[in-house]
């Protein structure tokens, strides 16, 4: 059963003119237009990397030429392959894939034979709130059990880390089932692995209770991309046609820009004005640059 975990560090990517213009030529026109509308360079880079990760995956792992790939979004925003239609070869189960970008990274998770959702979050304090005020605002997103786990951490930074760990788990599940923002987050309660989450490890011991009942058919992988970035992958029940067990959990492979575009081929003509627009953007809102909590 195939498995892919890729990441790209957008936060340290300072694209040259040729890199940005080539990347823009290698995504669909409507995606290029959407990326160009972002106010801040940070968001434009993350979105571009996400689209390139998707196309690299479909091209290299599903064997579809770059120029033939047509990606659409579901009404809830989940990307899917619209053309050519996915065809299974022989007894191979179909691929499911998902992307996320937040903080300094864009990530892609894909698996054959199961539903997949992925979410990455950076441990930062949004806006100018204090940690207790931030938690008060977010009270309804977590159960009493989850808040107990979050607030039992020794320091404010560790509490924020526990908060984002729970958040990535919930978001990965929601993205896997494709329900979007209408899902009541308190329905999914997570009981964290007793094993410590550390750099270089991938945990699968965390369990979910759905509507207060243990949900044993879902598997959750947790890892750290670095000290400040949690990533969770939700793997849903296996397809009826797939009886193979899940392969062992694998860490995310961080790609260089060269690796990201290794299979890319241009879809449109070069647009010099696209670079002029990009280089005029501020990197990020000032408050985002000022509010990272250091551990």
Q: What torsion do the CA atoms of 43, 50, 269, 264 make, to the nearest 10 degrees?
A: 150
Query: Residue 130: exposed, middle, or buried by beta-carbon count in 10 A (0-12, 13-18, 19+)?
Result: exposed
- With a cut of 70, say whether residue 212 has pLDDT above it: yes
Nearest to 59 by CA among 257, 262, 233: 262
168 domain residue, yes or no: yes
pLDDT, residue 294, reads: 35
Buried b (16+ CB within 10 A) or exposed e, 176-191: bbbeeeebebeebbbe
- Cα angle 45, 73, 44 (rounded to 5 degrees) comes to 10
Work out the number of other CB atoms within 10 angstroms of the CB of residue 59: 19
Summarised one tens digit per residue, pLDDT across range 213-266 is 999 999 999 999 999 999 999 999 987 656 678 899 999 999 999 999 999 999
pLDDT, residue 77, reads: 74
> What's the mean pLDDT when you consider all of the chain?
91
Q: Identify each DSSP E strand in 239-286 by its residue range.
A: 253-255
Domain tally for the chain? Answer: 1
* pLDDT band, residue 183 (cuts 50/70/90): confident
**Percent with pLDDT over 70 in the chain:** 92
pLDDT, residue 89, reads: 52
pLDDT, residue 75, reads: 80
261 domain residue, yes or no: yes
State how far the Cα of 100 lies from the Cα of 7, in Å rounded to an integer: 9
- Which pair of tokens denotes residue 191? 């009981």
Summarised one tens digit per residue, pLDDT across range 117-130 is 999 999 998 776 89
27 domain residue, yes or no: yes
Nearest to 22 by CA among 202, 267, 193: 267
Strands 79-83 and 70-73: antiparallel
Cβ-contact 149, 169 below 8 angstroms:
no
* pLDDT band, residue 290 (cuts 50/70/90): very low
Q: Which of 100-104, 134-138, 178-182 has the lowest mean pLDDT?
A: 178-182
pLDDT, residue 181, reads: 62
Summarised one tens digit per residue, pLDDT across range 49-107 is 999 999 999 999 999 999 999 999 888 777 889 977 655 455 678 999 999 999 999 99
151 domain residue, yes or no: yes
- Which pair of tokens denotes residue 149? 């786990």
User: Which residues, 6 or more positions from 201, have their beta carbon under 8 angstroms from its beta carbon?
Assistant: 195, 223
DSSP state letters, 34-103: HHHT-SSHHHHHHHHHHHHHHHHHHHHHH---GGG-EEEE-TTS-EEEEESPP---TTPPPEEEEEEEET
295 domain residue, yes or no: no
**Percent with pLDDT over 90 in the chain:** 79
pLDDT, residue 182, reads: 73
pLDDT, residue 180, reads: 65
pLDDT, residue 76, reads: 74
- With a cut of 70, say whether residue 112 has pLDDT above it: yes
- With a cut of 60, say whether residue 291 has pLDDT above it: no
Sheet holding 229-238, edge to edge: 114-122, 229-238, 219-226
pLDDT, residue 292, reads: 44
Q: For residue 203, give the DSSP letter.
A: B
pLDDT, residue 215, reads: 94
> CATH number for the domain including 261?
3.90.470.20
Nearest to 87 by CA among 110, 115, 58, 116: 58
62 domain residue, yes or no: yes
Domain enclosing residue 198, as ranges: 3-290
pLDDT, residue 239, reads: 72
State how far the Cα of 213 lies from the Cα of 208, in Å rounded to an integer: 8
Cβ-contact 100, 82 below 8 angstroms:
no
**How far from 70 is each of 59, 66, 86, 273, CA to CA, in Å?**
11, 9, 11, 25
């Amino acid at each position: 059963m195939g498995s892919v975990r890729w990441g790209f560090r957008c936060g340290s990517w300072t694209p040259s003119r040729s890199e940005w213009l080539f990347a823009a030529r290698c995504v669909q026109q409507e995606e290029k237009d959407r990326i160009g509308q972002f106010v801040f360079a940070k968001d434009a880079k993350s979105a571009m990397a996400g689209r390139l990760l998707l196309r690299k995956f479909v091209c290299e792992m599903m064997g579809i030429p770059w120029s033939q790939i047509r990606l659409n979004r579901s009404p809830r925003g989940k990307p899917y392959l619209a053309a050519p239609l996915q065809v299974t070869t022989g007894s191979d189960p179909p691929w499911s894939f998902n992307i996320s970008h937040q903080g300094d990274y864009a990530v892609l998770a894909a698996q054959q034979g199961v539903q997949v959702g992925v979410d990455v979050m950076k441990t930062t304090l949004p806006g100018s709130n204090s940690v207790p005020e931030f938690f008060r605002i977010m009270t309804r997103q977590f159960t009493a059990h989850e808040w107990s786990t979050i607030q039992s951490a020794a320091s404010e930074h560790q509490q924020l880390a526990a908060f984002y760990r729970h958040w990535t788990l919930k978001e990965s599940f929601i993205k896997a089932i494709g329900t979007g923002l209408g899902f009541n987050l308190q329905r999914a309660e997570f009981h964290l692995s007793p094993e410590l989450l550390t750099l270089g490890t991938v945990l699968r011991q965390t369990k979910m209770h759905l509507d207060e009942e243990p949900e044993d058919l879902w598997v959750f992988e947790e890892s750290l991309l670095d000290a400040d970035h949690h990533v969770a992958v939700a793997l849903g029940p296996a397809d009826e046609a797939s009886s193979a067990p899940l392969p062992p959990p694998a860490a995310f492979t961080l790609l260089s820009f060269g690796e990201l575009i290794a299979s890319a081929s241009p879809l449109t003509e070069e647009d010099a004005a696209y670079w002029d627009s990009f280089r005029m953007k501020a990197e990020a809102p000032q408050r985002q640059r000022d509010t990272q909590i250091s551990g």
